Amino acid sequence: MATLSVRIRRELPGGFALDVEFDAPPGVTVLFGASGSGKTLTLKSIAGLERPDAGLIEVGGQTLFDSERGVNLPARARRVGYVFQNLALFPHLTARENVEFPLRDLPARERRERAASLLTQFGVGHTAGRLPRHVSGGEAQRVALARALAAGPRLLLLDEPLSALDEPVKLGIIEDLRRLNRDWQLPVLYVTHSREEAVALGERALIYERGRVVSAGAPLEVLGAPVSAGVARLTGVENIFVGEVAARDEGAGTMRVRVCEGEGVCYVEAPLGRRPVGARVRVAVRAGDIVLATAEPRGLSARNLLRGRVARVEPRAAETLVHVAAGVHWAAAVTRQSLQELGLEAGKPVWLAFKTYSVRVFED
């Protein structure tokens, strides 16, 4: 089983620089980050569609690119399967002909048999004679995956392949990708900025920010502990505010942060960090870490207790966000049952409670 090793640097006009180094063993490695953070540029460099300024790319001991030795295999010689965000199926070819395209050096009968087998494996054998415009989005995605695997690649690159699909179709293809991962045992790089996809599919995650890998590890670990306010926002943290360190308590291991939003101000207790009193910071708290109560909570370990009023209630698919004006506007996540039992509605007085270690503080 081959491991992909990447160490590349590429500078683009406008000052952006990609500078990343990582290994991807067989299994799904998620590249997670905002648009423009360098994820797609990384895939294109590995596939041979972009040339890095410097670095080394190897898979299974074979060198695909080495700036020092002058090695730069052409894209076709790299045996890399690539599914683009827009799929890039040839519109004038049928589904079967699209899958056959990477096999054009094989005899016609062998091409047809392999294409038919792959289409069947992905549950779209019935689309073999159809043009791309006559298949659904989910079917087109499966055809694109079959084409990417047709020539027996040694690694697979998937660039936001599910971004245009609705939830039921997306869940079905995620299951296909899990099966593919089990059966093929390839290094798979999967680009996404969806936290749900990263957690559902990834065995490892690399967090990209401004052309760098700023965090790496198990998806739940690195997404649950964002290393910057930008990553926190991308991972779905609902409460992010500008603040200022107001006081430090070395003995207690905490610091008091003045949080601001417009004319609103409140104070929160956070874990002690390196920032001095007066330093500008960003404060992030997940809505799911905040407990709502209609009376002042007592006997809790949570050190942050804020009094406020419900500003509005925002129903969501799996939960409800209750927006509360408590110095600044906070969002707390509750179940529909809790919403009803507490009688939460606009104007109702409430208390917010959350622990010190639920507060993450970043440099501004």
CATH assignment at residue 96? 3.40.50.300
Is the domain of 264 the same as that of 174?
no
What whole-number distance in Å separates Cα of residue 163 and Cα of residue 194?
9
Is the domain of 272 the same as that of 177?
no
- In terms of average pLDDT, the best of 134-148, 191-205, 242-256 is 242-256
Give the position of tokens 């401004």: 210
Query: Phi and psi dihedrals of 118, rounded to 5?
Result: -70, -40
Question: Mean pLDDT over residues 94-99, rounded?
Answer: 94
Q: Using pLDDT thresholds of 50, 70 and 90, give the confidence band for residue 276.
A: very high
Of the candidate ranges 36-40, 194-198, 306-310, 352-356, the one whose mean pLDDT is the lowest = 194-198
Is the domain of 154 the same as that of 178?
yes
Is the domain of 219 the same as that of 269?
no
Q: Using pLDDT thresholds of 50, 70 and 90, give the confidence band for residue 203.
A: very high
CATH assignment at residue 271? 2.40.50.100
- Mean pLDDT rounded to a whole number for the chain: 92
In the predicted structure, residue 200 carries a pLDDT above the cut 90: no
Range of the structural domain that residue 323 is part of: 239-363
Q: Domain boundary residue among 233, 266, 298? A: 233
Strands across the sheet containing 304-315 = 291-293, 349-354, 304-315, 320-326, 328-334
Pairing of strands 27-33, 204-209: parallel
Is the domain of 185 the same as that of 255?
no
**Residue among 234, 147, 240 at smallest CA distance from 198:** 234
Of the candidate ranges 95-99, 133-137, 205-209, 311-315, the one whose mean pLDDT is the lowest = 133-137
Of the chain, the percentage scoring pLDDT greater than 70 comes to 99
Is the domain of 359 the same as that of 297?
yes
pLDDT at 262: 87
pLDDT at 55: 97
Is the domain of 130 the same as that of 169?
yes
Is the distance from CB of 140 to CB of 87 less than 8 angstroms? yes
pLDDT at 163: 74
Q: Domain boundary residue among 233, 255, 276? A: 233
What whole-number distance in Å separates Cα of residue 104 and Cα of residue 109?
11
Is the domain of 180 the same as that of 303?
no
pLDDT at 319: 86
Is the domain of 198 the same as that of 294?
no
H/E segment holding residue 110 = helix 108-121
pLDDT at 32: 94
- Number of structural domains (the chain) is 2
Is the domain of 299 the same as that of 210?
no
Is the domain of 107 the same as that of 169?
yes
In the predicted structure, residue 230 carries a pLDDT above the cut 90: no
Q: What digits encode the pLDDT tens for the residues 293-333?
A: 999 988 888 899 999 999 999 998 778 999 999 999 999 99
pLDDT at 98: 94
Strand partners, 204: 29
Question: Mean pLDDT over residues 6-12, rounded?
Answer: 96
pLDDT at 78: 94
Residues whose CB is less than 8 angstroms from the CB of residue 137 and which lie 6 or more positions away in sequence, other chains included = 164, 165, 169
Q: Using pLDDT thresholds of 50, 70 and 90, give the confidence band for residue 39.
A: very high
Q: Using pLDDT thresholds of 50, 70 and 90, give the confidence band for residue 164.
A: low
Q: Domain boundary residue among 206, 233, 260? A: 233
Is the domain of 162 the same as that of 111?
yes
Q: What digits encode the pLDDT tens for the residues 103-151?
A: 888 899 999 999 999 999 888 999 999 999 999 888 898 899 999 999 8
